[in-house]
DNA sequence: GTGAAAGCGCTAACAT
DNA sequence: ATGTTAGCGCTTTCAC
């Protein structure tokens, strides 16, 4: 409980024979300072090891800034809902530091709605933006505008190589597929594997599952070159057909006992699995959606690989507030979150 | 970048007809306020949705408080070293809020050194204390003194049922043993298992491995009632003997192919395993020490269960700063951290 | 270009 | 028990 005794602007003003106002101008690179004064102030700042007091600064400024989270609409039970907790935690944290956090959402299947959302964000003149880059080209255009306005942005989930982002928080996608394969095969001879995939037309959307699939296939061909990999396509918009498709495929291929899925919808195969518990399928999926966890608990799914989606957003928000308030860029630009392996036995504590 | 228009203490003073000083007193539960005034102020605070401005508060206080972390000396390559990163992150965070974080260490095998450390901590008049309760009775005495001085404390790693702690951050110990068994047996018939244990005399130390062992044994007897569990004792202070002891045991029990260890020292059996790669032991241990991760990478150990030790400390520090600055008690008193399953394939991203 | 001074919202010491 | 007031260190007019 000791008093602090730090160097202040006043000290610098006295030492340089200038006034607080001028020192402040120098500190913030504001115009209207002679070269002479500028140099003098800088010298004394260095000499005295002056550190500005952010509290005093923030108090005097009394402006409220906003960080925008630009992401697909959060639908109940679907992937992006996992972001919510992290966003809320981030908002709570940021609010205490005088920064607001607001969501702007769009339809992840509708590029026009994305463009609209981008406009909306720019109009808000945010102090920073957090976003998963869903539409690659559109996103590049958008972040370029952000750059022009000196608005930092942080990627979550996936990243683009735009080279002007403040930070990235996500899972190592390729490796996650590799890990998935290792868990699925359990390092024991694998003969035939089915990858269940989603049928959807993509309009230039970045597809994280592609990299993941690569990692998966690489593991399999490295470890079980003779293993055959099947692809089964289902359509989530026609749930009533899923079981039929699966029935058909698996009765035609009774040797297949390993199943993997690279998006967050492994729960879609749960009802099929339920009907064929006797076949002892070994199943691995991704992401801790409630429906997926239920399938895990009931033993239909062996393992889930989760990626702390909430934490990604929370970290992203923290990174921006840190940058805005303390002027600190994150220690690492690319931050790979852990891949969490969930089984029946640790899922309750996740 | 809009101006803030928030409710201030002054507003409350006006509304209540009292002065800023009194409002401040109420806000901080300082003595010298009549019940009437107190109630009036509280009512208006609620009504107006007043939120204190931490910047103004911190600026005006200009005192530096300290949170003490009381823990065993961090030895290179040993368990407590894992706490370091979290402590450092916590310190960095807390410093920005004007709170310092300092470590006080003791010898975890020497109760006298613990007592000494406790005295030292009390002499520092800390604003809060974070500690793993290594010596049960001594710790209870210590936290009682803290309570008398209104110093909040947070448990990490293990907790005591002292009922006066602010929060606890740790792993669910029993479940971790259960999980360990499930990974080790991989749900396949288990015949004989060896638990490698550490020989040391305990002076009333709380033993987290005991609960963990219980969970392990419960899983085994639930799933493989006929499975035999062996105990092998090694002594880390005599590393030269470890290999001999293991050689002796495993040649006498050649049927044993599953090995588990409940403390952080699975790396001690690595050299033995290296010599007998042909026997394909299936080995599961705890904690992500560098030496353990090396054993994992080289395939000697199949899996490690890790507990985010750093995060436990970081969370603990955050909880205390939150309490001190924002007056907020944590949402949950007992916080169980995830149990992370590490394999060769996800360890690089941990 | 530069200085003076009035706050920002809160705390704490001193009055009453 | 309550009010008054002088700061905390910085920003931001406004004047010169």
Residue by residue, pLDDT tens for chain A (350 residues) are 444 558 999 999 999 999 999 999 999 988 889 999 999 999 999 999 998 888 899 999 878 899 999 999 999 999 999 999 999 999 988 887 889 999 999 998 899 999 999 999 999 999 999 999 999 899 999 999 999 998 999 999 999 988 899 999 999 999 999 999 999 998 688 999 999 998 865 555 667 788 899 999 999 999 999 999 999 999 888 999 999 999 999 999 999 999 999 999 999 999 999 999 999 999 999 999 999 999 999 999 999 999 999 999 999 999 999 888 877 788 889 999 999 999 999 999 98
Residue-wise pLDDT tens digits, B315-344: 999 999 888 877 778 888 999 999 999 999
User: What is the model's pLDDT at position A1?
Assistant: 43
Q: Given 3-state DSSP classes, what are the helix, strand and coil percentages for chain B, each rounded to the nearest 5?
A: 45, 20, 35
* Out of A54, A344, A349, closest to residue B338 by CB: A349
Residue range B65-170+309-337, CATH number: 3.40.50.2300
Cα A167 to the center of its chain, rounded Å? 10
Bases of strand C lying below 7 A from some protein CB: 1-14
Higher pLDDT, A325 or B218: B218
- pLDDT at position B202: 52
What does the alpha-carbon distance between residue A152 and residue A166 come to, in Å, rounded to a whole number? 6
* pLDDT, tens digit (0-9, with 9 covering 90-100), for B150-197: 899 999 999 998 889 999 999 999 999 999 999 999 868 899 999 999
Q: How far is A300 from chain B (nearest CA, A)?
A: 14
Shortest distance between the Cα of B159 and any Cα of chain A, in A, equals: 17
Instruction: Tell me if B345 and A53 make a contact (CB, 8 A cut-off).
Output: no
User: For A63 and D1, how far is CA from C1' in angstroms?
Assistant: 37
What residue ranges of chain B are covered by domains with CATH 3.40.50.2300?
A: 65-170+309-337, 173-306
Residue of B62, B63, B350 lying closest to A338 (CB–CB): B350
Least Cα distance to A339 among B338, B295, B300, B62 occurs for B338
Q: In this predicted structure, what is the pLDDT of residue A64?
A: 83
Where in the sequence of chain A do the CATH 1.10.260.40 domains occur? 9-52
Any idea which fold B173-306 has? Rossmann fold (3.40.50)
Residue ranges of chain B whose CB lies within 8 Å of a chain A CB:
1-4, 53-56, 58-59, 62-65, 96, 98, 125, 127, 171-172, 175, 178-179, 182-183, 186, 326, 336-341, 343-346, 348-350
B321 in helix, strand or coil?
helix
C-alpha B4/C-alpha B19 separation (Å) is: 23
- Please give the pLDDT value at position A139: 95
SS3 string of chain A? CEECCCCCHHHHHHHHCCCHHHHHHHHCCCCCCCHHHHHHHHHHHHHHCCCCCHHHHHHHHCEEEEEEEEEECCCCCCCCHHHHHHHHHHHHHHHHCCEEEEEEEECCCCHHHHHHHHHHHHHCCCCEEEECCCEHHHHHHHHHHHHHCCCCEEEECCCCCCCCCCEEEECCHHHHHHHHHHHHHCCCCCCEEEEEEECCCCCCECCHHHHHHHHHHHHHHHHCCCCEEEEEEECCCCHHHHHHHHHHHHHHCCCCCEEEECCCCHHHHHHHHHHCHHHCCEEEEECCCHHHHHHHHCCCCCEEEECCHHHHHHHHHHHHHHHHHHCCCCCCCEEECCCEEECCCCHHHC
Interface with B, mutate which of A51, A56, A59 (most B CBs under 10 A): A59
CB count within 10 Å of CB B248 equals 11
Q: How far apart are CA B263 and CA B270, in angstroms?
A: 14
- How far is the C-alpha of B237 from the C-alpha of B83, rounded, in Å? 23
Nucleotide nearest to B35 (CA to C1'): D1
B239 to chain A nearest CA, in Å? 32
**Weakest mean pLDDT among A257-266, B124-133, B198-207:** B198-207
Instruction: Verify whether the Cβ–Cβ distance B338 to A343 is below 8 Å.
Output: no
Average pLDDT score, chain B: 92
**pTM across the whole model:** 0.81
Distance A22 CA to D15 C1' (A): 15
Distance CA B164, CA B176 (A): 26
Q: What's the CA gap between B350 and B305, in Å, rounded?
A: 12
Cα(B49)–Cα(B44) distance, integer angstroms: 8
Pairing mode of beta strands B2-3, A63-72:
antiparallel
Q: Do B125 and A1 touch (CB under 8 A)?
A: yes
Cβ–Cβ under 8 Å, residues B208 and B158:
yes
| Rounded distance between C-alpha atoms, residue A182 and residue B344, angstroms | 9
Picking from A55, A178, A183, the nearest residue to B59 by CB comes out as: A55
- Determine the protein residue whose CA lies at the shortest distance from the C1' of C6: A60
Residue A37 Cβ < 7 Å to strand C: yes
CB contact under 8 A, A179 and B336: no
Query: Which of A4, A98, A346 lies at the smallest CB-CB distance from B341?
Result: A346
Say whether pLDDT at B282 is over 60. Answer: yes
Tell me whether residues A182 and B343 touch, CB distance under 8 A: yes
Percent of chain B whose predicted confidence (pLDDT) is above 70: 96
Helix (H) or strand (E) holding B128: strand B128-131
Residues in chain B: 350
Which CATH architecture group holds B9-52? Orthogonal Bundle (1.10)
Contact assignment for B340 to A340 by CB distance below 8 Å: yes
> What pLDDT is stored for residue A318 in this prediction?
92
> In whole angstroms, how large is the CA radius of gyration of chain A?
26
CB A19 under 7 Å to nucleic chain C = yes
For residue B206, the model assigns a pLDDT of: 60
pLDDT value of position A206: 60
Helix (H) or strand (E) holding B16: helix B9-16
Give the pLDDT of residue A2: 46
> Which whole number is the average pLDDT over B131-148?
94
Q: How far is A244 from chain B (nearest CA, A)?
A: 30
Rounded distance in angstroms from the CA atom of residue A58 to the C1' atom of nucleotide C16: 35
Contact A330, A166 (CB under 8 A): yes
Interchain proximity A98–B1, CB inside 8 Å = no
Rounding to the nearest 10 degrees, give the CA dihedral for residues A74, A79, A81, A87: -100
Least confident residue range of A330-334, B159-163, B201-205, B296-300: B201-205
């Amino acid at each position: 409980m000791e008093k602090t005794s730090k160097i202040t602007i006043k000290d610098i003003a006295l030492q340089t024979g200038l006034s607080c106002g001028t020192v402040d101008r120098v500190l913030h690179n504001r115009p209207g300072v002679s070269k002479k004064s500028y140099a003098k102030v800088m010298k004394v700042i260095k000499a005295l090891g002056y550190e500005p007091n952010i509290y005093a600064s923030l108090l005097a400024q009394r402006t409220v800034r906003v960080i925008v989270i630009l992401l697909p609409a959060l639908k109940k039970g679907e992937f992006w809902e996992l972001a919510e907790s992290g966003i809320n935690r981030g908002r709570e944290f940021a609010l205490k530091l005088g920064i607001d956090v607001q969501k702007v959402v769009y339809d992840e299947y509708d590029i026009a709605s994305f463009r609209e959302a981008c406009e909306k964000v720019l109009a808000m003149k945010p102090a920073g933006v957090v976003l998963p880059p869903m539409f690659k080209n559109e996103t590049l255009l958008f972040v370029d505008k952000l750059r022009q306005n000196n608005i930092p942005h942080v990627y979550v989930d996936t990243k683009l190589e735009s080279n002007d982002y403040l930070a990235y928080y996500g899972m190592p996608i390729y490796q996650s597929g590799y890990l998935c394969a290792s868990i699925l095969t359990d390092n024991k001879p694998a003969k035939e594997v089915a990858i269940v995939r989603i049928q959807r037309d993509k309009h230039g959307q970045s597809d994280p599952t592609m990299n993941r699939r690569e990692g998966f296939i690489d593991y399999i061909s490295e470890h079980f070159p003779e293993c055959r990999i099947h692809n089964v396509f289902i359509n989530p918009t026609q749930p009533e057909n899923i079981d039929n498709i699966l029935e058909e495929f698996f009765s035609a291929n009774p040797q297949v006992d390993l199943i993997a899925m690279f998006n967050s919808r492994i729960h879609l195969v749960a009802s099929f699995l339920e009907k064929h518990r006797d076949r002892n399928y070994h199943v691995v999926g991704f992401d801790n959606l409630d429906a997926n966890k239920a399938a895990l608990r009931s033993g239909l799914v062996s393992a889930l690989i989760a990626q702390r989606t909430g934490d990604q957003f929370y970290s992203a928000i923290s990174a921006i507030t840190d940058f805005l308030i303390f002027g600190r860029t994150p220690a690492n630009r690319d931050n790979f979150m852990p891949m969490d392996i969930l089984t029946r036995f640790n899922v309750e504590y996740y």
